[in-house]
Structure 1
Amino acid sequence: MRKEDCFYLGKIAKKFSYKGEVLAWLDTDEPGLYDNLESVFVEVHKHLVPFFIQQSSIHKNDFLRIKFEDIDTDEAADGMLGCEIYLPLTMLPKLEGNKFYFHEIIGFTAEDQRLGDIGTIVGINDTSSQALFEIKKGEIEILVPMIDHFIIKVDRDNKKIVLDTPDGLIDLYLNS
């Protein structure tokens, strides 16, 4: 499985028992959706390796307690600590309305209600406290804060996001 075909679910944070059980921190708002997984992909030396799950359960809201098949000792579990876990993109729950996954909107046209087509969404910058749409208009990069009231419509059929940006924000980039 290629990493591009998967989404990041979380990270194996710590051991839970002496029988190889681990706790994986889940990077999701709805951990209960992932309670009964049959398998996950674990990133080992930059490769995704499938691991089958013998048993799992939600632990303290954000953690998944996992007993992997063939991981039966404390030492075997040590080798998994810090490893990231992934699932295929096909397992993501479908979102509707103006909710979207970051990877889903890459390549969408960004349209401002006043200015029309302002470019193509080429990425999402979520490294700061406020996530930003990275929009390319020719050679110009436009950064627009990902604020709910700026997003008027996510049009999946036409691969377009309609925005209502404050006066002057887009002009800062286009007129410089």
Structure 2
Amino acid sequence: MTKDECFYLGQIVSKFSFKGELQIKLDTDEPELYKNLESIFVDYRNKLIPFFVEKSNLQKSSLLRVKLEEVNEEADADDLLKRNVYLPLTKLPKLGGNKFYYHEVIGYKAVDATHGEIGTIKFINDQTMQALFFIDFNDKEIIIPVNDRFIQKVDKDEHIIYFQTPEGLIDMYLED
């Protein structure tokens, strides 16, 4: 399993007991979806190592207390502290309507209400204050903010996102 096949779930932030229990700070709006995990992948020295979950319990709002198989002592737990935790992409909950995960719309066609087809979504940069679609159109790059006001429809069957962008936004990329 590689990180490309997984999504970031959270980070192991502390030990809970002297018997190897750990607490994972979940990075999700819906922590209750992950309270009964069978297994997790821990990023250990740049490799994803699978661990089976013996038991888990949601603590507070986003802390998941877990007991992992073969982690039975404090030293074992210490070795896993501050490590990132991942799950396979197949474990992501399905989203309805115009909601989507960034990774799933890569390669979708982008269609603007004014300009028609404006290219293919190459990637989404979510490392900026405003997440951005990067669209490839005839060797030009069009950048559109990821904003619900600009997205008319997400057609997951046809792999198309329909946009209604502000006047002039697309034009500024198409001018020579």
Pair in the same fold by TM > 0.5: yes
Point out where structure 2 has 5 or more consecutive residues left out of the alignment: none
Which secondary structure does the structure 2 equivalent of 1:149 belong to? Answer: coil
Deviations 1:29-85 (CA, angstroms, capped at 9, x unpaired):
111000011111111111111101111111121111111111112211111112111
Distance in 1 of aligned mates of 2:17 and 2:37 = 20
User: Does 68-77 or 28-37 show the bigger shift?
Assistant: 68-77
Give the secondary structure class of the aligned counterpart of 1:103: helix
**What amino acid is the match of 2:78?**
D
Task: Write the mapping of 1:11-90 to structure 2, written as runs, cut at 5 A.
Answer: 11-90=11-90
Match of 2:148 in 1: 148
Distance 1:129 1:20 in 2: 38
Q: Which runs of 5+ in 1 are unaligned?
A: none
Structure 2 counterparts to residues 113-128 of structure 1, below 5 A: 113-128=113-128
Distance across 2 between alignment mates of 1:120 and 1:17: 50
Range with bigger deviation, 133-142 or 143-152: 133-142
Distance 2:114 2:56 in 1: 50
1:97 Cα offset (Å):
0.8
**One-letter amino acid of the structure 1 residue matched with residue 110 of structure 2:** A
TM-score by length of 2: 0.96
Question: How far did 1:2 drift?
Answer: 2.3
**Normalising to structure 1: TM-score of the pair?**
0.96
> Could you say which residue in structure 2 is the equivalent of 1:133?
133
Cα RMSD for the two superposed structures? 1.1
Structure 2 distance, partners of 1:155, 1:114, is 18
Whole-angstrom CA distance in 2 between matches of 1:48 and 1:124: 24
Match of 1:94 in 2: 94
4+ residue runs of structure 1 moved beyond 2 angstroms? none
Q: How many residues align?
A: 176
Instruction: Provide the identity percentage.
Output: 53
Whole-angstrom distance in 1 between the partners of 2:104 and 2:53: 28
In the alignment, the residues of structure 2 paired with residue 15 and residue 141 of structure 1 have an alpha-carbon distance, to the nearest angstrom, of 47
